[in-house]
Amino acid sequence: MTERVLIKDLAAREDGTVRVSGWVEKVRDQRYVQFVVLRDESGAVQLVNGGVLREPDPENPRSDILVPRTTTISELTHGSFITVTGELQHNERVKLGGVEIQIEEIEVITKSLPDNPVAGDSGIDVRLDWRFLDLRRPEQNLVFRVQTTFLHALRNLWVERGFIEIQTPKLMASASESRAELFEVEYFEGKAFLAQSPQFFKQMAQAAGFGGIFEVGPAFRADHSFTSRHATEFTSIDTELSWIDSHEDVMELHEELIVAGLTAVKEKHGEEIQKLFGVEITVPARPFPRIPLAEAKQVVKDRGYEVPRADADMDPEGERQIAAWAKEVHGSDFVFLTDYDSSIRPFYHMRHEGDANLTKSYDLIYRGTEISTGAQREHRIEVLEAQARDKGMDPAELGFYLDFFRYGVPPHGGFGMGLNRVLMLMLEQSSIREVTYLFRGPNRLLP
Amino acid sequence: MTERVLIKDLAAREDGTVRVSGWVEKVRDQRYVQFVVLRDESGAVQLVNGGVLREPDPENPRSDILVPRTTTISELTHGSFITVTGELQHNERVKLGGVEIQIEEIEVITKSLPDNPVAGDSGIDVRLDWRFLDLRRPEQNLVFRVQTTFLHALRNLWVERGFIEIQTPKLMASASESRAELFEVEYFEGKAFLAQSPQFFKQMAQAAGFGGIFEVGPAFRADHSFTSRHATEFTSIDTELSWIDSHEDVMELHEELIVAGLTAVKEKHGEEIQKLFGVEITVPARPFPRIPLAEAKQVVKDRGYEVPRADADMDPEGERQIAAWAKEVHGSDFVFLTDYDSSIRPFYHMRHEGDANLTKSYDLIYRGTEISTGAQREHRIEVLEAQARDKGMDPAELGFYLDFFRYGVPPHGGFGMGLNRVLMLMLEQSSIREVTYLFRGPNRLLP
């Protein structure tokens, strides 16, 4: 049997017999000719049946072949998976890739039900109900190829730098971040909780002397939100490194990773992204603009927007405003907001030597949305305990976490970044639902 | 300030001032000279203080520097993290890497408590209680560098082949494999379950036309076992590919991945593994031996061991016996057991055309232990439903899973492989506890 050829490789082949496999995207069943658009994981191609014969014809010596072939094509349902052998022909007039295949043999591998529950104008909920059909759209396929390329570029950089990949447990005996938004698991005779982040465990790698580490894995938040950027389960990109001087070192690594990821995506998929999403992938210049939060709030205020919050934090509109500023003034899609108030940061963020009200921390804003929080961590046990108490926590409750610091730990920092938010913003999608393989929210556990 | 140098890079540097950072592994506080063995994420080096001065000496012009330095070193506790600036000197007589550093400045970054709870002869449970200290041992550090290299080699191969990386949800509305060993999560007003494997979701990618896909992520089993190879949470390496002819295509990919992984590990860490574990990494020749399960049981019987099971399955001793046979007869550490009885395989494994009692499936045995199960999956909905009923399942309960097949799906197959088992066997360790970052079992949720 002829080897299967991926559709994307057809254009570079010489005319001749080929075998292709994929699913039926479109059928045009005309009186004297039948056309099938076949799609596989790499692209789409037009198949042609020139030998249409609808009734047995004793005078046509190929009647026994042509009639069943014609019938098979007439009865093809959208989405059915088929294998076709035929003659590849280059033809400039064929819009779809400049090639077509004259069908010789067609085999229906699995027939699809005729009623496609997802239509072009289906809402996001219907599309998520039938995610496997939704994912057949070329845009959706591209999202996950982009994801693959982006993550691989990050991992290449980490591996090049000697970072160690860890897999931290998602089952924990206590909270990893806060007691809110915690999922509880029945664990034999007791209880466990799902990790909200690998925070404590990636810091453990610092106490273990691992130096730089990274992890790409799930994180869980029992979050009731129904916004475009929240999920109860999401993919977290995490890294942590030792012997930093401040959060500036973390931001530098962060920039390098973003640049590596976007460079790879642009090289490999830039044209296709332009074509399917109308989006130009731009590789940001380094350094990304940095602005302390207090200054950022002043900039936002000067632009006519006063952040309506009692605490020192930004809000989503403030983030959009500061992003607009970064774009206008620095030509950048990215901006680091730095030096958050300690009142709105976790106890483990390191505070400034001269001003304990400020932390050595940052958020990274990409096209107006926060994608990441990073910081230098407090590694001095007595300061860490004081900061925990300062937040109304009982250090005893932090159990094993504080032990990490009692036996020595280097200065360190890192960040966590939401993969789905990055993809959403990169491809200018309206929701993380569009760029998550299977979205999970308060009302969504299926499929 | 001088840049920090990694210890592994010292040997290649010229003599001169360097700065190193790491933790104190050993102190020898002699009368006229003090030695410190400093370890970082890359190696260990000897630091020397030749200027020991224990009491202020008005006649020594450097007394103010030498006394505090001597005192600091005397008081160093094991595990404390320090930064040292000094003169690098190449010296062939120094066993540890042929270099040493004459200490000029020493700064204690974080002091360790003096009582190390982990001793050289501590049992595995004490070591797991203090995993972050246990991981400081060079052997443990190497395990995770090996893990990093192994996984990266696999991903390189997948990416090269155009496979798509997916992150499947770990929160599910129903079981992914069986109703047994299922963890239940309180999910808002309802219930969710933790994924036992990404099985259904990686098959969904096939229905979605993704072609080849891969995922490295956590899987959860509420398994009461306390064996050396079971955990309640483990890292599963999963892949699935379309348009295969049989499970043979899956085995081929499987071999290629194993060979790529072991080749990279041997190249990058072979010497160090030999030194620290006394283990020679060998890259297996392809194809790995394959033997149908029924024949394998006969071979084992001929070797004098009768598998004491009522069903058709192997048992651990049988696996060791067939591994010994593979080693003796084929010189291979790996052996595929193929064509398992359908009675002991899940309903979704494809059965042989000629013999419905046999499945197109396999287990991969590595040095006597099963590390993986693979198969061609049944993609014909009516056959799949019949096979589910045959197992006493109600197809209606399989809900969304069966929908994947109603709208067309290509022939496909794949495997799941336990990362920790692979590492355990590769490095000849006695338990997956030794090669898991933080082991989870029925009695272990901490740290």
A139 is in an annotated binding site: no
pLDDT, mean of residues B365-383: 97
B320 is in an annotated binding site: no
Report the share of chain B in percent with pLDDT over 70.
100
Contact between chains at A155 and B155 (C-beta distance less than 8 A): yes
The answer for A 287-306 residues in CB contact with B (under 8 A) is none
Interface test with A, best of B437, B439, B440, B446 (most A CBs within 10 A): B437
pLDDT, mean of residues B224-237: 94
The encoded tokens of residue A242 equal 């030792």
Interface test with A, best of B133, B183, B376, B445 (most A CBs within 10 A): B445
Report the share of chain B in percent with pLDDT over 90.
94
pLDDT confidence band for A330 (50 / 70 / 90): very high
Q: Which residues of B touch A183 (CB under 8 A)?
A: 171, 185-187
Contact between chains at B210 and A164 (C-beta distance less than 8 A): no
- Give the pLDDT of residue B1: 58
B247-277 helix and B138-160 helix, angle to the nearest 10 degrees? 150
pLDDT of residue B178 exceeding 80: no
Which among A80, A172, A405 has CB closest to B408?
A80
pLDDT of residue A178 exceeding 80: no
Q: How far is A112 from chain B (nearest CA, A)?
A: 4
Q: Cα-flanking dihedrals φ and ψ of residue B88, to 5°?
A: -75, 130
pLDDT of residue B175 exceeding 90: no
pLDDT, mean of residues A332-338: 98
The whole-angstrom separation of Cα B383 and Cα A48 is 32
One DSSP character per residue, B147-205 reads HHHHHHHHHHHHHHTTPEE----SEESS-SS-STT--EEEETTEEEEE-S-SHHHHHHH
Contact between chains at B233 and A170 (C-beta distance less than 8 A): yes
pLDDT confidence band for B373 (50 / 70 / 90): very high
Contact between chains at A167 and B400 (C-beta distance less than 8 A): no
Which among A144, A185, A381 has CB closest to B210?
A144
- Give the pLDDT of residue A141: 97
Which among B192, B242, B381 has CB closest to A445?
B192
Q: What is the pLDDT of residues B282-310, one digit of tens each?
A: 999 999 999 999 999 999 999 999 999 98
The whole-angstrom separation of Cα B267 and Cα B260 is 11
What is the CATH architecture of A7-110? Beta Barrel (2.40)
B419 is in an annotated binding site: yes
The answer for A 420-439 residues in CB contact with B (under 8 A) is 437-438
- Give the pLDDT of residue A174: 85
Contact between chains at A167 and B419 (C-beta distance less than 8 A): yes
Q: Which residues of B touch A272 (CB under 8 A)?
A: none
Interface test with B, best of A154, A167, A397 (most B CBs within 10 A): A167
pLDDT of residue B347 exceeding 70: yes
The whole-angstrom separation of Cα A322 and Cα A218 is 30
The whole-angstrom separation of Cα B195 and Cα B172 is 6
B241 is in an annotated binding site: no
Contact between chains at A169 and B440 (C-beta distance less than 8 A): yes
**Is the bond into B56 cis (omega within 30 degrees of 0)?**
no
pLDDT of residue A304 exceeding 90: yes
Q: How far is A59 from chain B (nearest CA, A)?
A: 37
B160 is in an annotated binding site: no
- Give the pLDDT of residue B304: 95
Instruction: Note whether B375 and B350 are within 8 A (CB).
Output: yes
pLDDT, mean of residues A338-357: 96
Using the Cβ of A179 and the Cβ atoms of chain B, whether some distance falls under 8 Å is answered with no
Distance of CA A320 to the CA centre of its chain: 21
The encoded tokens of residue B48 equal 């020397």
CATH topology of domain B129-435: BirA Bifunctional Protein; domain 2 (3.30.930)
Using the Cβ of B201 and the Cβ atoms of chain A, whether some distance falls under 8 Å is answered with yes
For chain A, residues classed under CATH 2.40.50.140 are 7-110
A419 is in an annotated binding site: yes
Tell me the C-alpha to C-alpha distance, in Å, between residue A105 and each of A23, A25, B142, B143.
Answer: 15, 18, 55, 53
Which among B169, B235, B380 has CB closest to A110?
B380
pLDDT, mean of residues B97-103: 96
- Give the pLDDT of residue A39: 98
Q: How far is A327 from chain B (nearest CA, A)?
A: 32
pLDDT of residue A1 exceeding 70: no
Average pLDDT, chain B: 96
Distance of CA A234 to the CA centre of its chain: 9
Provide ipTM, 2 decimals: 0.97
Using the Cβ of B23 and the Cβ atoms of chain A, whether some distance falls under 8 Å is answered with yes
Across B259-406, the runs of DSSP E, i.e. the strands, are: 290-292, 334-338, 361-366, 369-377
Using the Cβ of B269 and the Cβ atoms of chain A, whether some distance falls under 8 Å is answered with no
- Give the pLDDT of residue A119: 86
Q: What is the pLDDT of residues A246-287, one digit of tens each?
A: 999 999 999 999 999 999 999 999 999 999 999 999 999 999
- Give the pLDDT of residue A179: 79
Lowest mean pLDDT among A94-98, B68-72, B250-254: A94-98
The whole-angstrom separation of Cα B87 and Cα B101 is 5
Cβ pairs A/B, distance under 8 A: 286
Q: What is the pLDDT of residues A20-44, one digit of tens each?
A: 999 999 999 999 999 999 999 999 9
- Give the pLDDT of residue B313: 93
Q: What is the pLDDT of residues A184-241, one digit of tens each?
A: 999 999 999 999 999 999 999 999 999 999 999 999 999 998 899 999 999 999 999 9
- Give the pLDDT of residue A420: 98
The answer for B 384-413 residues in CB contact with A (under 8 A) is 399-401, 403-411
- Give the pLDDT of residue A36: 98
Q: How far is A193 from chain B (nearest CA, A)?
A: 9
